[in-house]
Amino acid sequence: MFINQVSLQNYRNYDHLQLDSFAAVNLFIGQNAQGKTNLIEALFVLALSKSHRTNKDKELIAFHAEQARITCEAEKKYGKVKLELNFTSKGKRAKINGLEQRKLSEFVGTINAVMFAPEDLEIVKGSPGVRRRFLDMEIGQVQPSYLFHLQQYQKILIQRNNYLKQAWSSGSKDSTMLDIWNEQLVEHGVKIIKKRKHFIHKLQGWAETIHMGITGGKENLVLSYVPSFGTADEEDEAVLFEQFMVKLSQVKEQEYRRGATLAGPHRDDLTFHINGNEAAVFGSQGQQRTTALSLKLAEIELIREEIGEYPILLLDDVLSELDPYRQTQLIETFQGKVQTFITATGIESLNTERLKEAQIFHVHQGH
Ligand code: ATP
Ligand code: MG
């Protein structure tokens, strides 16, 4: 897919911006705090309906404004599509070709984007919550049904936790009530777990090959799913259902005491091993960064497999951190296939030889 046009209105530090033409590779150059990240964040938001930086949509609205708007025109395999997202303090509304979408999940994934930003290092180094967010965003982008199950699961999880807390404080445990919550929690939880396992399995295939390439055949990257019950490779829904139910009955008393649900996809994790050693614990900074990069590049291929065309690639401040060999490797891998948007504070830090045909935009104070 190819982005032809973008406009921003009262989005972050942009009052009004209209960009009417893009190339296959686009460079946004500017000093710190001028709006480079804001601009490619807006493209990411058009793909996923939320930012990679925050869960609070309100932060996207310019300080002085009530409402923010992002629009774009994209060229997809099957034709042109116009997207529009409006944010107010009350919520967001989405349009495809001028038609208001009743469900946001129908808007998400109309265009697809992969973002690689400095904070992605946290996917390798950070807490399990960061990795779950990574999984949720990436799977949700290509499978709207995943988002549906995730939303349902999160809603039920809150209600179930409230019930557990209240039952403990009032001293009246109602097992019929808990059974009802369990049934619903497990129904959606199993779908999430199954889709995550499937995604990780496929991501592994690409990530391993790409990582081998980047490291000149020296490093073998292995991704493993760490479930809160059962084994990592079990994908049969009936078996998962049974295992989840058994696990919940085992932790029941503990759950009452803690007032929290102690098993399920909200407690899953994902680990990365390089040549047999866990990257989060033993990996060097460079190895961790390369692992995160391999994951993102693998995702590009995965999206293409899933939807039949390449997503756009957003590289925020990361190209200049790679050595010239890796910069070249990265640009060449996707040249001519993936429309790319790159931010940097100066052109000098980039391997410009490979970026000869790039279109350069100078970003200065939101213009
Ligand atoms: P760097 O090179 O440091 O990464 P950048 O060009 O990527 O800089 P951005 O992250 O795009 O900078 O931010 C540009 C400016 O936008 C910042 O000064 C930030 O405070 C401002 N900003 C962020 N959110 C809003 C908002 N809701 N309203 C107005 N300004 C905002
Ligand atoms: Mg930035």
Q: What are the DSSP calls for 198-263, one per residue?
A: HHHHHHHHHHHHHHHHHTTT---EEEEEE-SSS-TT---HHHHHHHHHHHHHHHHHHHHHHTS--S
Burial 105-116 (b: 16+ CB within 10 A, else e): bebbbbbbbbbb
The residue whose C-alpha atom lies closest to atom 4 belonging to ligand 1 is: 32
The CA distance from 349 to 301, in Å, is 27
Q: What is the pLDDT of residue 136?
A: 94
**Is 182 assigned a ligand-binding role in the annotation?**
no
Whether 288 and 336 share a structural domain:
no
**Is 36 assigned a ligand-binding role in the annotation?**
yes
- Quick: pLDDT tens for 319-331: 887 778 778 877 8
Q: What is the pLDDT of residue 175?
A: 82
Q: Confidence band (pLDDT; 50, 70, 90) for 67?
A: very high
Nearest ligand to the CA of 363 is 1
- Of 46-50, 138-142, 296-300, 339-343, the least confident: 138-142
Token pair listed for 243: 């295992």
Whether 172 and 284 share a structural domain:
yes
Q: Do residues 212 and 246 make contact, with C-beta atoms less than 8 angstroms apart?
A: no
pLDDT, averaged across the chain: 93
CATH of the domain at 155: 1.20.1050.90
**Is 359 assigned a ligand-binding role in the annotation?**
no
- Quick: pLDDT tens for 248-291: 999 999 999 999 999 999 999 999 999 999 999 999 988 898 89
Whether 182 and 103 share a structural domain:
no
Token pair listed for 314: 């957003």
Q: Do residues 329 and 213 make contact, with C-beta atoms less than 8 angstroms apart?
A: yes
The residue whose C-alpha atom lies closest to atom 19 belonging to ligand 1 is: 33
- Of 38-52, 69-83, 319-333, the least confident: 319-333
Q: Residue 35 corresponds to which amino acid? A: G
Which of 34, 40, 341, 361 for mutating ligand 1's site (highest number of atoms within 8 Å of CB)?
34
Whether 275 and 126 share a structural domain:
yes
Whether 156 and 215 share a structural domain:
yes
The residue whose C-alpha atom lies closest to atom 3 belonging to ligand 1 is: 32
Q: Which of these, 286, 248, 287, lies nearest to 267 by C-alpha position?
A: 248
Token pair listed for 106: 């129908």
Query: What are the beta bridge partners of residue 311?
Result: none
Q: Residue 16 corresponds to which amino acid? A: H
Whether 126 and 251 share a structural domain:
yes
Q: What is the pLDDT of residue 105?
A: 84
ipTM over cut 0.85: yes
317 Cα to the center of ligand 2, angstroms? 7
Whether 91 and 182 share a structural domain:
no
Phi, psi of 247 (to 5 degrees): -60, -45
The count of structural domains within the chain is: 2
- Quick: pLDDT tens for 88-144: 999 999 999 999 999 988 899 999 999 999 889 999 999 999 999 999 988 988 888
Residue 351 pLDDT greater than 90, yes or no: no
CATH of the domain at 97: 3.40.50.300
Task: Tell me the mean pLDDT in the region 135-163.
Answer: 93
pLDDT above 90: percentage of residues in the chain: 77
Whether 335 and 290 share a structural domain:
no
DSSP helix/strand/coil, 311: coil
Residue 158 belongs to what H/E stretch? Answer: helix 144-170
Query: What are the beta bridge partners of residue 343?
Result: 28, 316
The CA distance from 59 to 46, in Å, is 15
Please identify, by atom number, the ligand 1 atom nearest to the C-alpha of residue 363: 6
Whether 10 and 159 share a structural domain:
no
Q: Residue 285 corresponds to which amino acid? A: Q
Cβ within 8 Å of residue 131, ≥6 positions away: 123, 269, 270
Q: Which of 308, 329, 352 is the last residue of a domain?
A: 308
Which of 8, 10, 13, 315 for mutating ligand 1's site (highest number of atoms within 8 Å of CB)?
13
The CA distance from 47 to 113, in Å, is 6
- pTM for this model (two decimals): 0.87
19 Cα to the center of ligand 1, angstroms? 18
Q: Which of these, 357, 358, 286, lies nearest to 322 by C-alpha position?
A: 286
Whether 127 and 266 share a structural domain:
yes
Whether 188 and 125 share a structural domain:
yes
Q: Which of 268, 293, 308 is the last residue of a domain?
A: 308
365 Cα to the center of ligand 1, angstroms? 9
Q: Confidence band (pLDDT; 50, 70, 90) for 213?
A: confident
135 Cα to the center of ligand 1, angstroms? 26
Query: What are the beta bridge partners of residue 29?
Result: 344, 362
Q: What is the pLDDT of residue 126?
A: 95
Edge-first strand order for the sheet with 67-76 is: 14-19, 2-11, 67-76, 79-88, 91-96, 99-100
Please identify, by atom number, the ligand 1 atom nearest to the C-alpha of residue 41: 11
Find the domain containing 50 and state its range.
Answer: 1-112+311-367
Whether 199 and 304 share a structural domain:
yes
Please identify, by atom number, the ligand 1 atom nearest to the C-alpha of residue 28: 6
DSSP helix/strand/coil, 193: helix
Q: How many alpha carbons fall within 13 Å on the CB side of residue 56? A: 4
